[in-house]
Amino acid sequence: MKTKQVIKRVAEYDQFGYPRWTSVTTEKRIFDDEDKMAVVAEYQAGKMTAAQIVEKYHLSSRQVLFNWMDRYLREESLSLGASEAEDMAKDPEERIRELELENRRLQKALDTETLRAKAFDTMIELAESKFNIPIRKKSGTKR
């Protein structure tokens, strides 16, 4: 992370409440791609909140962090072809353990979505019975 000197014009108020402009020299942090990816990886590790990351690295807002996440996580997912070759080079037992963890994570996500679908169906049924309004689309309707 590099820094550069930036001169900002700031309004100060004199004793009578009149504004006057003064120049203030501040440091601006410049992050290269490696720094940005390290910050995103630190956030992804889950040990710090977005607000703590923003405060630690003096980012202007949480949105900066989330934009970096969008950019670098998308690039990482696009470059998965190279990581597949690395996965094949791993020890088979380690690969099996990773796949089992992935399988458990996906199973948990599936269970969550199944419960969510049931909740939506229940909500629609209650709304239809309480308000006597058909909400679901009829199969034979014309456009």
Give the integer Cα–Cα distance in Å for 63 and 71.
12
What is the model's pLDDT at position 1? 72
Confidence of residue 29 (pLDDT cuts 50, 70, 90): confident
- Which long-range contacts (C-beta less than 8 Å, at least 24 apart) are formed by 71-74? 71/36, 72/33, 72/36, 72/37, 72/40, 73/40
The pTM of the full predicted model, rounded to 2 decimals, is 0.44
What is the model's pLDDT at position 8? 79
Mean pLDDT of the chain: 84
Is the pLDDT score of 16 beyond 80?
yes
What is the model's pLDDT at position 3? 73
Is the pLDDT score of 91 beyond 90?
no
Q: Report which of residues 21 and 26 the model is more confident about.
A: 21
What is the model's pLDDT at position 88? 62
What is the model's pLDDT at position 78? 58
Number of CB atoms found within 10 A of residue 115's CB: 10
pLDDT digits (tens, 9 = 90+) for 93-143: 888 998 999 999 999 999 999 999 999 999 999 999 999 888 887 776 665
